[in-house]
Structure 1
Amino acid sequence: MEAVVPAFIAALLVQAGDRSPWLVAILADRYGRPFTVAFAALLAHAGGNAIAATGAVLIAPLLTPNAKQLLLALALIFAAMGALWRLKAPDRLERWRLGALLTPLLGIFVLALGDTTQFFTLALGVRGPSPWFAFGGACAGIFVVHLAAALMGELSWRQLPIRGFRIGLGLIALLAGAVVGAGALRLI
């Protein structure tokens, strides 16, 4: 149960500055069905995070406590690098004519496969008694961000200070990753 809150917070922070809520806002405007689009995005992310949680189930018994801590440090450092990298606009999926459920489901799944949230699900999942708590926390955080993006729409979402948020998040995650990594390597 201890992985629920950290996974929720990690997903909330990482997703707020990511491309997938931007795409959710675009698709919610296009289809006029924000709850359907947000739910489809949740299902898309849940698929990727389920893969990460399954991976955590498989590798957790093989890792030492220091290796688990080092995996978390790597997740933080990769999150920092992703946040400090320039955010590129997502493909608007204008040629996709699959409807308000399938277009965001497939589009977000492809966009988010292998994203930072899944790495956090894996890293937090190997540390606790059950990776499925990390999965649940991450999915809850993802849904909060995507529902907000869908309800706001693209114009309002783009007016948020995402760039400054990403820089701040990146610097904090980089510092946290360095501290956790140094602890894992017994340097501090």
Structure 2
Amino acid sequence: MEALVPAFLLAAITQLCDKPALLTAILADRYGRPLTVAVAAGLAHAAGNFIAAGAATFMAPMMTPNAKSLLLALALIFGALGAIGSGKAPDRLSGWKLGSFLTALLGVLILSFGERTPFFTLALSTGGQPWFAAAGASIASFAVAFVAAVLGERVWRDAPLRWLRILSGIAFLVAGCWIGVNALRLT
């Protein structure tokens, strides 16, 4: 249960600033079906997070506690770099003619594989309780996708998420460096 809350918080912060939420808002406006698009996006995020948790169950027995801490540190540092550098809008998927559910499901699933949340889920899952980490990240991702779908693209783009992205990037960088220094026993 201890992995649920950190995974929820990391996913909520990162999803607010990541491209899948904007894509969810774009698709909800395009199809006029925000609930359908939000559910599809939530399922896509859940699939990515549970795949990451499944991979962690195979990796964790081979890792030392310091290696697990170092993986979390690297996830936070790369997450910080991704937060500071992710300003480009996602593809609008205009050519996709699969309907609101499948377009959102496949589009968000493909887009989320390159984002930070599954990497955080993988890193947290190696520390133990991978299914709780996946559940926490999935719940937070669905909540953000739901809000993005209901608000729509115009409101989502106008939200002051740039500062949240910068502040979260700084916080992730500091936390990642701190955990990494401790994992390498440099303190």
SS, match of residue 6 in structure 1: helix
* Superposed counterparts of 1:15-164, under 5 Å: 15-128=15-128, 130-164=129-163
Maintained 8 Å contact 1:10/1:138: yes
Which amino acid in 2 is paired with 1:59?
Answer: M
* 1:33-55 C-alpha deviation (Å, 9 max, x unpaired): 11110110011111211211111
Please tell me whether the aligned partners of residues 125 and 133 of structure 2 are also in contact (alpha carbons under 8 angstroms): yes
The aligned amino acid for 1:181 is: G
Instruction: Measure how far apart 1:114 and its partner are.
Output: 3.5
Cα RMSD of the aligned pairs, angstroms, is 0.8
In structure 2, stretches of 5+ residues that fail to align are none
Aligned twin of 1:8:
8
Q: Tell me which residue corresponds to 1:170.
A: 169
Q: Give the whole-Å Cα distance in 1 for the aligned partners of 2:38 and 2:95.
A: 20
> Which residue does the alignment assign to 2:180?
181
Q: What CA distance in whole angstroms lies between the structure 2 residues aligned with 1:45 and 1:115? A: 10
Matched-pair contact (CA < 8 Å) for 1:83–1:170: yes
For residue 18 of structure 1, what is the amino acid of its counterpart?
D
Aligned length: 187
Which whole-Å CA distance do the structure 2 matches of 1:41 and 1:87 have between them? 20
Q: Given that residues 48 and 114 in structure 1 are in contact (C-alpha distance below 8 angstroms), is that contact kept between their aligned partners in structure 2?
A: no
- 2: CA distance, partners of 1:24 / 1:115: 14
CA contact (8 A) 2:18 2:86 kept: no
- Name structure 1 gaps, 5 residues minimum: none
> Residue 19 of structure 1: CA displacement?
0.6
- Paired residue type of 1:78: F
Letter of the 1:19 counterpart: K
Give me the whole-angstrom Cα distance separating, in 2, the residues matched to 1:114 and 1:92.
Answer: 17
- How many angstroms does 1:31 deviate by? 1.0
Deviation at 1:110?
1.1
Structure-2-length-normalised TM-score: 0.98
Displaced runs of 4+ in structure 1, greater than 2 A? none
User: % of aligned pairs identical?
Assistant: 57
Aligned counterparts of 1:149 and 1:174: Cα–Cα separation in 2:
26
